[in-house]
Amino acid sequence: MDRLIQIRDQIVAALAPLVPGGNCQAHDGRFNLDNLKTLATKTPALLAACLGIPKIEMQSQGDYRLTAQWAVFVLGKDLPAAGGAAKTGRGAAALALAQAVLLTTAGNRWGAANTQAPTDLKAENLFSAPADQAAGLALWAVSWRQTVEVQAMTAADIAALNDFLRFYADWDLAPKDGTPEAQDHINLP
């Protein structure tokens, strides 16, 4: 998955110049109203996330072709008036930023070799009255699918995943009294 992290970082770097103040960052995925209230303190903003991998195909010699589902969430807030112009409302600010993300994303391979151009590129208005009232935000999502070829993991790659070398579980079967009836402790070589 290292390749997907690299691509996500390239997406962030390419889109950051579009945002006043450059607030473009990697994000873990979808969010709720409480998250939006926190995020609203740093707007306008772009949040880039890999939402999933709906398709994987094995290629020759153990290499893979992954199709990743990407999204950039656009958070817009009212922009103050400048130079005698009227202030820009959050809806208009978010729409303009979503359009800029669309145009930058179209055909972009993010500088990554063996990466296809985006497909199914679209923008959706995610307006909700609670988000508008609680956080004062306009919210758009620009999403697309992008296929990337990745190499199979080597033994060295797998060894670097230390968190996956051990598994511990205590099983409180019945009745649930806080005393485990079974335990699993597995250490991989």
Class of domain 2-152: alpha beta
Confidence at residue 21, expressed as pLDDT on a 0 to 100 scale: 83
The identity of residue 30, as a single letter, is R
Q: Is the pLDDT of residue 17 over 90?
A: yes
CA distance 181 to 171: 6
- Residue found by looking up tokens 């996956």 in the block: 164
Q: Is the pLDDT of residue 79 over 80?
A: no
CA distance 37 to 185: 41
Helices 90-105 and 2-15: crossing angle in degrees, nearest 10, is 120
What pLDDT, in 10s, does the model give residues 91-141? 888 999 999 999 999 999 999 888 999 999 999 999 888 877 877 888 999
Closest CA to 137 of 145, 147, 148, 126: 126
Of 1-15, 71-85, 110-124, which has the strongest mean pLDDT?
Answer: 110-124
What pLDDT, in 10s, does the model give residues 45-58? 999 999 999 999 98
Region for 118 from its dihedrals, namely left if φ exceeds 0, alpha if ψ lies in -120 to 50, beta otherwise = beta
Between these two residues, 4 and 181, which has the higher pLDDT value?
4
Confidence at residue 189, expressed as pLDDT on a 0 to 100 scale: 61
Q: Is the pLDDT of residue 32 over 90?
A: no
Kindly list the domain boundaries of the chain, sorted by start residue: 2-152, 162-189
Q: Is the pLDDT of residue 1 over 60?
A: no
B/e letters for 140-172, b = 16+ CB within 10 Å, e = fewer, are: bbbbbbbbbbbeeeeeeeeeeeeeeeeeeeeee
What pLDDT, in 10s, does the model give residues 147-185? 999 887 666 766 666 665 666 666 777 766 666 777 776
